[in-house]
Each structure stands twice: as C-alpha cells, then as structure tokens.
C-alpha cells in the first residue's frame, strides 16, 4: 500500500503517519526528513535545496519532486510507504501522480484528516513551540488554504480520497484510519 496523508497544519498527520507505519509495516516518509537527509548527504538535489533553504526561500516543486523521485525509486518502497507532508501544491500532486504511475505503484490510498479551523488554532497554539504563536499559526493556515487545500480538491475530483474526522483522541483517529484502510 502507498498512503498519502493530507490535512491542514496541526491536524496530526505526522503522529498518525508514525502509528500507521508501525501497525501496517509501512515505511514512513516525512518530506521534511527526506529533505534534511538529501541536504546532509550532499546529493545534487540536496545541495540545490540547501542553497534555497539558506536563502530563506521555499524549495521549488522541481527540487522536491526530484528528491521524492530519488526515494520512491528505491526497491524497498514497493513494500509500502506513507508519504507525510507531500504534496503541498496541485502541481506537486500532478507530478506525484505521474511519478507513482511511472514507477508502477498501484495501491495508492489518500487520507485527508479534517478538523475545524478554530480547533486547529487552539491545538497549534497550545503545543508550546516557539513558532506556534497566534500570528504565525494564522499565517500558516492562510498559506495552507491558498496553496495546499486545492490538493484535496485535486484528489476529490479523481475520486481517490478518504476523509477522516481528525477530532478525538490519537487512538480513536488512528482506529478510524486503520478501519478505513482495511475496507
């Protein structure tokens, strides 16, 4: 199974991805970790990403999809993986769709975790991270709405997305996702 977890900031994508990976024996692919790993290893794309990151800009879709390609072409990925934090734009989603097709991945599931905005703001501002103040959180929500929310519609239009209510305990949400994936 190839699983993509989508949802707004603070919805619990990372937490659920780790739990699902453990329960289903999938490889957890966090795009943040993949990016940091490529930079640390000094791969050609990692070096490009490093210079972009150091300038304070966002890594381009082309660099990100290239780094994702490097990872997904590894043989062990055919045993199954969870992609957490990617795609973030419709262009990335379209590129990822083409890449998964090219690499003959044929058991792709997409789960969208949804939580009302006010609950997410409350959740994010209570985490205690330095960058989780109300202004930063609201800005991240706006960026998500503009750039990433359309990815949900992209997959909805293709009829390949499962929506899960992300409210409740970590265990309750996890059980809903596992149940959905088993169906």
Domains, in order of start, for the chain: 2-176 (3.40.50.300)
Per-residue pLDDT tens over the stretch 1-31: 999 999 998 999 999 999 999 999 999 999 8
Q: Which pLDDT band holds residue 131 (cuts at 50, 70, 90)?
A: confident
Per-residue pLDDT tens over the stretch 59-78: 888 999 999 999 999 999 99
The answer to whether the pTM exceeds 0.85 is: yes
Catalytic positions: 13, 88, 127, 129, 140
What pLDDT shows up at residue 130? 77
Which three-class secondary structure string do you get for 114-182?
Answer: ECCHHHHHHHHHCCCCCCCCHHHHHHHHHHHHHHHHHHHHHHHHHCCEEEEECCCCHHHHHHHHHHHHH
Per-residue pLDDT tens over the stretch 80-121: 999 998 999 999 999 999 999 999 998 999 999 999 999 998
The DSSP 8-state label assigned to residue 26 in this structure reads: P
């Amino acid at each position: 199974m190839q699983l993509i977890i989508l949802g707004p900031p603070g919805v619990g994508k990372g937490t659920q991805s780790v739990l699902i990976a453990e329960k289903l024996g999938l490889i957890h692919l966090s795009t943040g970790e993949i990016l940091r790993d490529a930079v640390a290893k000094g791969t050609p794309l990692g070096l490009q990403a490093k210079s972009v990151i150091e300038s304070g800009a966002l890594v381009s879709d082309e660099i990100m999809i290239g780094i994702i390609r490097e990872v997904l072409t590894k043989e062990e990925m055919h045993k199954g993986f969870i992609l957490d934090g990617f795609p973030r734009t419709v262009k990335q989603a379209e590129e990822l769709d083409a890449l998964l097709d090219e690499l003959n991945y044929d058991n792709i599931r997409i789960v969208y975790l949804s939580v009302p905005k006010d609950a997410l703001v409350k959740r994010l501002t209570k985490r205690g991270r330095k960058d989780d103040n109300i202004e930063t959180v609201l800005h991240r929500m706006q960026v998500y709405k503009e750039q990433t929310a359309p990815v949900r519609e992209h997959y909805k239009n293709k009829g390949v997305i499962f929506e899960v209510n992300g409210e409740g305990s970590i265990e309750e949400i996890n059980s809903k996702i596992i149940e959905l994936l088993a169906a």
